[in-house]
Chains A and B, each alone.
Chain A
Amino acid sequence: MHSSLHSSSQQGPSEQGSSHRSDISQQISAVPLREYKGGLLIAVKATLVRDLTLLLRRRGEVLNPLVFFALVITLFPIAISPDPELLAVIAPGLLWVAALLAALLSLDSLFRSDYDDGSLEQLLLAPQPLAALSLAKVAVHWLLTGLPLALMAPILGIMLALPAGSYGVLALSLALGTASLSLIGAIGAALTVGLARGGVLLSLLVLPLYIPVLIFGAGAVQAAILGDGVGAHLAILGALLAASLMLAPWAIAASLRISING
């Protein structure tokens, strides 16, 4: 709901912006581009610093997913039952689903403001590979969404009477899992950034792809409660992260190109 309001209010200026942007890109294409050798790390670092600065100045956007996470967790005892024994059984799943939805909610703004003000086009024009630069953007997204969610989850776990001994695994599985979620979700965000109302579509595209992460993330916490080994679950979460680190940046880059040209 937040995203649709945001995008509809932005529609006017973005139309103006696009005609303005095409002027600029024509001017730029007339200037011969210089290839910087070894400029990749500098560009990645510059993207990291820029995105971190921008997001830290819009604290509301960073805080919203966290508040959403806490709110959704509050709804469940009210809707189901305040009984601690029952809550303890369903807590791992609830925490994971709520964190996943909170991460999903923050995805729409991942490329949105850059798309609206034209800086995404500048990233595309940069001589450095777009995949690396978008990886930097996703890393910032995880740092300011996934990691805070993972750190906050144990507090909400106490409120849901999560059995002792599983708090560390909860935070660790969320930290590992949300990194994959950010990477996979960024593909959907990149595909829908050019659409005026991409918010609901984004969740339709991304949620089915989130299921493996959810299974092993919630499974790790369940295993920790039952006293089983959590190593296997965390290892598979790590494997999913490694696979998405390898493949997702290319899909994100291709999707951004589609969204900009379309």
Chain B
Amino acid sequence: MWAFIHKLGSPKWFYGISAKLQPWFWVAAALLIVTGSLWGLAFAPADYQQGNSFRIIYVHVPAAFLAQSIFIAMAVSGLVFMVWKIKVADMAAAVMAPLGAAMTFVALFSGAVWGVPTWGTWWMWDARLTSMLILLFLYLGVIALRGAFTSRDSASRAASVLAMVGVINIPIIKYSVNWWYTLHQPASFTLTSRPAMPTEMWLPLVMMVLGFYSFFIALTLMRTRSEILRREANKRWVQDLVKDQVEEAR
């Protein structure tokens, strides 16, 4: 177990194993997203209340899932980095942050677009929308803090601490925003009161969620690999690797 963790901590080993894993996740992501979106957008039955506009769900829900999961993944990576000083964990956390912020933005934007046909407005101070907006600010804070330090080690540790502080606060923020919302605004509409989704609507959604997760893993692996090459550029194994590839190209 410990040997495995320490192996995982070696950038060189991670570079090798991620090269083998990466294609599988790309293939899974492509298959799931293409089938899921074709099925969801073209073949799934329209909602009897919302008509075709409900199909935004196939982008909105996976993006919202990822937005929250990526923050947790980032905080866990930060913890691993702080406790065991595993550099790969910090590299992964560094490349995850922009993707997480992008997913939060996609969830917010698709929510706003969805709001026009269903609620008649682009923005509502709905509990879930508000806590998503706060999550976006938390992401931007982590990214900005990492960028503000000149020393990379300090930047990594500061971003890890902030990610951990943020992840403790996310549930607190979520519950307090829910409370605030129920106190201030009576629910004038409900998305949850309609009958449970039929299977033809639900299955493509599951496929899209799994597809988005595969895409996230594949992209994180790919970007962590580039980050490894950048940070380890003066190490012998990276220089040998580059030399080999240059010779192959000739």
Contact = CB atoms under 8 A, between A and B. Distances in A.
B162 A212 contact: no
B103 interface: no
Contact of A195 (B82, B134, B148, B166): B148
Interface stretch (A7-15, A19-27, A254-262): A254-262
Interface string B150-175: 01011101100110111011001100
A21 B179 CA distance: 50
Contact of A212 (B164, B166, B176): B176
A208 B161 contact: no
Contacts of B153: 262
Interface string A219-244: 10010000000000000100010010
Contact of B162 (A205, A215, A240, A247): A205
Contacts of B176: 211-212, 215-216, 236
B84 interface: no
A215 B177 contact: yes
Interface of A: 187, 191-192, 194-195, 198, 201, 204-205, 207-209, 211-212, 215-216, 219, 222, 236, 240, 243, 247, 251, 254-255, 258-259, 261-262
A219 B183 contact: yes
Interface stretch (B9-17, B53-61, B137-145): B137-145
Given A219-B180, A258-B157, A262-B153, A211 B145 contact: no
B149 interface: yes
Interface string B116-143: 0000000000000000001001101100
Given A204-B140, A204-B141, A254-B161, A247 B168 contact: yes
Contacts of A187: 161, 165
B133 to A, nearest CB: 9
Interface string B172-193: 1100110110010000000000
Q: From B82, B155, B161, name the one whose CB has the most chain A CB atoms within 10 angstroms.
A: B161
A215 B33 CA distance: 39
Contacts of A194: 149, 154
Shortest beta-carbon contacts, A-B, top 3: A262-B154, A212-B176, A208-B137
Contacts of A198: 148
Contact of B165 (A207, A209, A211, A261): A209
14 contacts: A201-B144, A205-B141, A208-B138, A209-B165, A211-B134, A212-B176, A215-B179, A222-B183, A236-B176, A254-B82, A258-B154, A258-B161, A262-B149, A262-B153
Nearest to B136: A208
Contacts of B148: 192, 195, 198, 201
B84 to A, nearest CB: 15
Given A205-B141, A212-B176, A258 B158 contact: yes
A174 to B, nearest CB: 17
Interface of B: 82, 134, 137-138, 140-141, 144-145, 148-149, 151, 153-155, 157-158, 161-162, 164-166, 168-169, 172-173, 176-177, 179-180, 183
A75 B171 CA distance: 34
A254 B168 CA distance: 16
A251 B137 contact: no
Given A211-B176, A216-B176, A262-B151, A251 B144 contact: no
Contacts of A251: 161, 164-165
Contacts of A191: 145, 158, 161-162
B14 to A, nearest CB: 25
B137 A207 contact: yes
Q: Which of B145, B153, B155, B177 has the most CB of A within 10 A?
A: B145
A209 B180 CA distance: 15
Nearest to A240: B172
Contact of A255 (B141, B149, B158, B169): B158
Contacts of A204: 137, 140-141, 144
A205 B161 CA distance: 12
A258 B176 CA distance: 31
A201 B145 contact: yes
A222 to B, nearest CB: 8
B97 to A, nearest CB: 14
Contacts of A255: 158, 161
